[in-house]
């Protein structure tokens, strides 16, 4: 009996140490972050997060444009009933609203992509001289929300847009069309 109890307590302790310690009412969720157009924007996002004390950045993967947030439902949904459970799409909607308001809609959240990196194709499109943060962001935004684009970035040194795409959902030509539609002058 003691051995069983000791093994159970050991398992509980090991499990607790592997998972992030959550306080009562706290939850975590992972999202795709739209707005990381280039490395300079990382600091912008961290500033946005500092302005949102009810959200904590639990995990950050800039390369995949993916974040995990920790939040307390009672604080994120202040008019909710105690112990009310919200569906994932409602949580995404509310957290996106909070981050969007704090960043003047320069950052937003979507559901994380469901494909592995090995299933993505990297596409590079030269976009010319992009000398300011706003220009790079506009080029990025023209393709970032396109269906089939897992993530994108723009180089400030080379002016090249890099997009990782699901080839069954989009292609290079569709990205070029999206850039032209956004009035991006391609060389």
For 45-99, the pLDDT digits (tens) are: 999 999 999 999 999 998 889 999 999 988 999 888 877 888 899 999 999 999 9
Write the DSSP assignment of 46-63 as a string of letters. Answer: HHHHHT-TTEEEEEEEGG
Looking at residue 105, its pLDDT comes to: 95
Up-side HSE of residue 32: CA atoms within 13 Å toward CB? Answer: 15
Nearest-angstrom CA–CA distance, 68 and 122: 24
Architecture of domain 24-110: 2-Layer Sandwich (3.30)
Burial (0-12, 13-18, 19+ Cβ within 10 Å), 166: middle
Instruction: State what percent of residues in the chain have pLDDT above 90.
Output: 59
Spatial CA neighbour of 111 closest among 175, 29, 183, 56:
29
> Does residue 156 or residue 160 have the better pLDDT?
160
Overall fold of domain 117-181 = Alpha-Beta Plaits (3.30.70)
Looking at residue 120, its pLDDT comes to: 95
How much is the pTM? 0.79
Looking at residue 85, its pLDDT comes to: 84
Equal CATH topology for 24-110 and 117-181: yes
Between the ranges 15-24, 39-48, 97-106, where is the mean pLDDT highest?
97-106
- pLDDT-based confidence at residue 18 (cuts at 50, 70, 90): very low
Looking at residue 134, its pLDDT comes to: 87
The domain segmentation of the chain, as residue ranges, is 24-110, 117-181
- pLDDT-based confidence at residue 135 (cuts at 50, 70, 90): confident
């Amino acid at each position: 009996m003691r051995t069983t109890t000791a093994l159970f307590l050991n398992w509980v302790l090991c499990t607790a140490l592997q998972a992030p310690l959550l306080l009562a009412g706290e939850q975590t969720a992972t999202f795709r972050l739209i707005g990381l157009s280039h490395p300079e924007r990382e600091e912008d996002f961290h500033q946005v997060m500092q302005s949102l004390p009810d959200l904590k950045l639990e995990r950050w993967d800039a390369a995949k444009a993916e974040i995990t947030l920790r939040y307390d439902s009672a604080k994120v949904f202040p008019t909710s009933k105690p112990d009310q459970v919200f569906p994932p799409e409602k949580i995404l909607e509310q957290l996106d609203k909070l981050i969007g308001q704090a960043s003047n809609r320069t950052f937003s959240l979507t559901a994380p992509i469901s494909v592995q990196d090995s299933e993505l194709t990297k596409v590079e499109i030269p976009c010319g001289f992009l000398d300011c943060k706003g220009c790079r962001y506009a080029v990025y935004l023209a393709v970032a929300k396109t269906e089939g684009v897992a993530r994108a970035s723009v180089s400030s040194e080379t002016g090249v847009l890099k997009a990782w795409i699901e080839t069954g959902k989009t292609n290079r030509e569709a990205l070029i069309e999206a850039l032209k539609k956004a009035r991006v002058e391609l060389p």
